[in-house]
Amino acid sequence: MKQLKRPVLKLPARPWWPLGIRLQLTLWFTCVFAILLFGASAFLYQHLQTSLARSLDSTLQSRAEQIAGEIYLQDNHIQMHESVGDLPGFDQQANNNTAPPHSVNDNILVSIFDQDGKPYRSTPAFRTLNVPANSVAQTLKGDPWEDTVKSRDGTQDARIYSRTIIKNGHLVGVVQVGQFLDELQLMLRHVANELLVMGVVVLLFSALGSYWLASRAFAPIHNLIRTARSIKEGDLHQRVPVPKARDEVYFLAVTLNEMIESLEAVFSRQRRFVADASHELRTPVAVIRSTTDVALLHASTQEEYIGVLRNVNLESERLGRLINDLLALARGDEGQTKLELEPVRLDQLADVVAANADMLAEERHITIYRDQLQPTMIMGDETRLIQMVMNLLDNAIAYTNAGGCIRLSVINNSKQAILTVQDTGIGIDAEHLPHIFERFYRADQARIRDGGGSSGLGLAIVEWTVNAHQGSISVDSQPGKGSTFTITLPTTPDIQPKERLTAAAKSGSSTSSPRHIW
């Protein structure tokens, strides 16, 4: 039997030394500085080497010119002045390739050739060099020759310059001068070593300086971290310090403060929402409890029990609406509510909803007018749109005095559908306008007028529905003169609507209950 191999688990590789931001910045700065320092050092070394080489070539040319000036031709024989003839090794042993040891140490490199290219005189040190034969031939043709050659044993380098000797327009011969490069190379090695040591020291101090600068640069961020850690859910009134310089840390601090301010507002709304929801849920439960307790203690006839059951049913219906509204808003906040988009005639939908609201308005002696209902096609969720319009009409009816009126209009404005609900009610103070779409928010006057029958979630559901349909809503209100709610939605032309609302409008459904339209 074959032995099964156990699978080998491969764990993801982890960095053996995770680096912090300060160390990463230090390494980056040090690497960049090292590259710049290496480039500058290499440029300096190359420039120094080139300058020394040019200076040496100029010195050799001057020396060759000086020696050529001390040589002349007499009776077709090369003659030299004493200044040249006194050079070590310029004696009768000119053609002897073997030089005494003491002469080699003089390091004087001079060689003279006649007009035929034959050696005339050479210093002993020059004869130790391996100079190519074409150096003389090329010079005799009129082209100066210069190059770096090695000694015969290959241990030394020398720079050689060769030029012709011309007297009175006649070619006398060729002079070659040179110099060993030992001192030049030694000096360049010293410079390279000094640059290397200096570079290491400078890089060390630059790394320490980079780490110190990175630490100072991150000091404001550490202050932000300490302040942010001290801010807890119950202490969101604190703010992180904002530096004076408008740099990245400044914008980070401003962003954190804006985020903390938003969180504070969210937590404040959440606490108020929980408190208001608890109050709203407790009221119908308390009414039901007190009603049933009284009935159990005092009710004796069938009519009394029926009245108790009616009150319990009314409060239960109110409690159910509140729970449904809370559930709808919670699902909307979590993104769990999906709109069933379909072509909808907004004008017909508004007409049907207004017809259903007529009965409730008549009970309070309020008239609903349909001023303009222009044919308008939109893509939307019919159920949510009906709830949106009904909540606006409920709100207008609740805060309009007896004998007042409500005007409903739908205008098709090119690519936008404009739905307007205008009432002649008590209006809204300017200080309350920014908060009317908040959940459970009601001004004191509204609470008195409504008598506690409203949950305070209607306008919040309206705003959520409008936003879900990519629209916008605005309010214009004056205390004592009424309010105007304006909703703008994108239109969708050339699409056939459903026939359900059209049939409902033709059937005259104004007698049905507004609570059961959806």
Residues 131-161 have pLDDT tens digits of 898 888 888 888 899 999 998 888 889 999 9
> 215-271, pLDDT tens digit by residue?
887 777 887 777 777 776 556 777 777 877 777 778 888 888 888 888 777 777 677
Of 117-131, 138-152, 303-317, 356-370, the poorest mean pLDDT is in 303-317
- Is the model's pLDDT at 291 over the cut of 80? no
- pLDDT (tens digit, 9 = 90+) per residue, 476-492? 988 888 999 999 999 88
pLDDT exceeds 90 at position 389: yes
Q: Where are the domains of the chain?
A: 20-69+182-217, 73-180, 248-333, 342-516
106, 125 contact by CB (below 8 A): yes
**Would the pTM of this model clear 0.85, i.e. be above it?**
no
Tell me which of 3.40.50.720, 2.30.40.10, 1.10.150.120, 1.10.287.130 is the CATH number of domain 248-333: 1.10.287.130
User: Does 102 have pLDDT greater than 60?
Assistant: no
Closest CA relative to residue 423, chosen from 400, 444, 449, 447: 400
In terms of pLDDT, which residue wins out, 500 or 123? 123
DSSP assignment, residue 402? T
Query: Domain 73-180 in CATH: superfamily?
Result: PAS domain (3.30.450.20)
The more confident residue out of 83 and 309 is: 309
d(CA 47, CA 191): 12
Which residue has tokens 């009432």?
A: 423
| Tokens 């380098």 -> residue | 157
Dihedral of CA atoms 462, 464, 465, 466 in degrees, nearest 10, equals: 90
Give the pLDDT confidence score for residue 419 in this predicted structure: 94
Query: Is residue 349 helix, strand or coil?
Result: helix
- pLDDT, averaged across the chain: 78
Question: Could you read off the pLDDT of 50-86 as tens digits, one per residue?
Answer: 999 999 999 999 988 888 888 877 777 777 776 666 6
Q: Which CATH class is domain 342-516?
A: alpha beta
CA–CA distance, 399 with 445 (Å, rounded to integer): 9
Q: Which residues contact 459 (CB under 8 A, 6 or more apart)?
A: 391, 395, 436, 437
SS (H, E, C) 72-95: EEECCEEEECHHHHCCCCCCCCCC
